[in-house]
Structures are given as C-alpha cells and as structure tokens.
Amino acid sequence: MRYLVTGGAGFIGSHYVREVLGDAWGGPTPTSLMVLDKLTYAGNLANLDPVKDDPRLTFVEGDIIDRTTVDRLMADTDVVVHFAAESHVDRSILGAADFVMTNVVGTQALLDSALQHGISKFVHVSTDEVYGSIESGSWDEEQPLEPNSPYSASKASSDLIARSYYRTHGLAVCVTRCSNNYGPYQFPEKVIPLFVTNLVDGKNVPLYGEGLNIRDWLHVDDHCRGIHLVVADGRPGEVYNIGGGTELTNKELTGRLLEACGADWDRVDRVEDRKGHDLRYSVDISKISAELGYEPRVPFEQGLAETIEWYRTRRDWWEPLKERAALTN
C-alpha cells in the first residue's frame, strides 16, 4: 500500500508518519510513504528525524496547490491522508487569504488529482470547529456546519468539497473531525506548548477574557490512531468525529499548567478576548466507536504530564522555532 501524506512535517501529520511507519496501531502498513509538505513556519523536518532513515519514506518539499508536483506523486499513490492546512485561528483573523488558498483551493487540487489517478482511499483531516459553538451536549456528524472564524470557514468549505467528490464522482473520500490536539512536536504558538515554554523561561502567559471557553482535549496519538482506523475501514462518503473526552475551560487548563510548572496566577496576563471566540466545542464519538472500535486511550493527566516533560527536555527543538517566529507572548 503506497501512502501520500500531505502536511506530514507538521505536528499531527508527522506523528501519523512516525507511528504508521512503526506499525504502532496495526492495520494497513505502507510499503512506501511520501510526505508532501510546503515547510511553512509550522512545518519542520526535525519532526521526521526519528524515521528519516526508513527506506520507505520519501520527503518532497512542495505545495498542494502545485498540480505538477501533486500529479507526479499521485501517480505512485494508493491512499492519501490529507493533513496539510493553515490552522491557527488568530492568524486567520489577521489575514484569511492563505487559509482559503491552502485549505480550500489546495484540497480541491488534491481531490481532482486523486480522482484522475484512481486513488483507492482519500482521508481528509478536519476539525470540530466547523460546527461552530455548542452550549450543551455534543455534536454528531449530522450537525449543520456553522463555522465562526475564517479558519474554520475554510475547513468547512474543504469538507464540503471533499464530500462532493464522493457524491459526484464516487471518489472514496472520508472526512474526520477532531477536537483540540496536544502532545509533543506541537508548534509553540498553540496554547499548551506556548504556555509551557513561556513558563519554563520565566515569562508570562496570555489568557483570553475570563478564560471560560471550553475545549475537549485529544492526545495526538489517539487522534492519529482514529484516523488510521478510518484509513483501514472507514466507509466512503462518511464523516467521523474523533474526540478525547476531557472538557476543560481555558482557565482550568491554565491552572493545571501553572501548577505543573511551579508558577502562580501572577504569571497570567489577561488579554482582550479573541474576535468571534466560540464558547464551547464537544464532539459525539459514538459513530466511530460503534463502527471502527475507537476509544481514546491516553488519560489526560498522563498525556499532559508527558507533554510538559517533553517540552522541558526538548529546548533544542522548540527554542529555534520561537525565535524564528518571534513568538514572545
């Protein structure tokens, strides 16, 4: 089975690449695996260092919008796992053009090439943010899409384009929608690595508004294992929610990070709330559990402690990234 993994040098994509090459979850294993990554600020070849000598792995630096490159790779591919995306909400608020080009136009280019080359499975990795905000309960996959940020709107658009290639052309597309990921190798603009790296450096951390926004936390290994179940046995044309089952307010999460890093609340700067900030996300995972046997396995307390320790000991990985991106808050 020949795999093409887009965005495979990013946080989630590189975890999938490392683990699937190591046969971490069983199921289908690649005979070859090509990573296509543009290496924007969040892409990092160091994320693939643990598997760089695997003879099955090929890395190609390129843009998913570039049809010449995409078509060349697609010709030697059976399965596409599509992670490549612009994904930071704050950046999308400052400027949405890159999000539309990569997330919408790029996804369409991949789908068109996959159709042309007769790909047997295309898994499009998306986000729970496409559903909008929910006051109580949890979204199932039938929930109408009501995105509230330019980022989530671009992902919702790509989801619908992906669905259309199944309905119109019969391309074997599945869509996965995950909750908030955490774990090692996450770019330090996201809340957990940003807070941990700031705190260990003696800096303050920012908290939006009153910190009452609620997120469901999902360890990256659970997420990638869920994706691999969909690669193996997901039904074409279907959407699968993947959640972690740990809901916390941002204030509660901040408290846990402060305690773990030996810091007090005087290290927290209250900042103006994000524009259009969704109050709560929560996904119902009944479908993927019933059909594919998925359940989150990494307890949040364990996963968070291991993640904090990883950032404590891997300054060599994150310090150059923060310097390059001038992430001072």
> Is 128 annotated in the active site?
yes
CA separation for the pair 180, 128 (Å, rounded): 8
Q: How far from the centroid of its chain's Cα atoms is residue 20's Cα?
A: 16
Which of 3, 16, 131, 151 is catalytic? The answer is: 151
CA separation for the pair 64, 9 (Å, rounded): 13
Which of 129, 221, 222, 247 is catalytic? The answer is: 129
CA distances from 326 to 31, 204, 315 (A): 40, 15, 16
Q: Which two tokens stand for residue 4?
A: 């093409």
Burial class of residue 1 in the structure, from the number of CB atoms within 10 Å of its CB (0-12 exposed, 13-18 middle, 19+ buried): middle
CA separation for the pair 326, 320 (Å, rounded): 10
Which of 37, 63, 112, 128 is catalytic? The answer is: 128
Tokens 């792995």 appear where? Answer: 57
The β-bridge partners of 6 are 36, 82
Catalytic residues: 128-129, 151
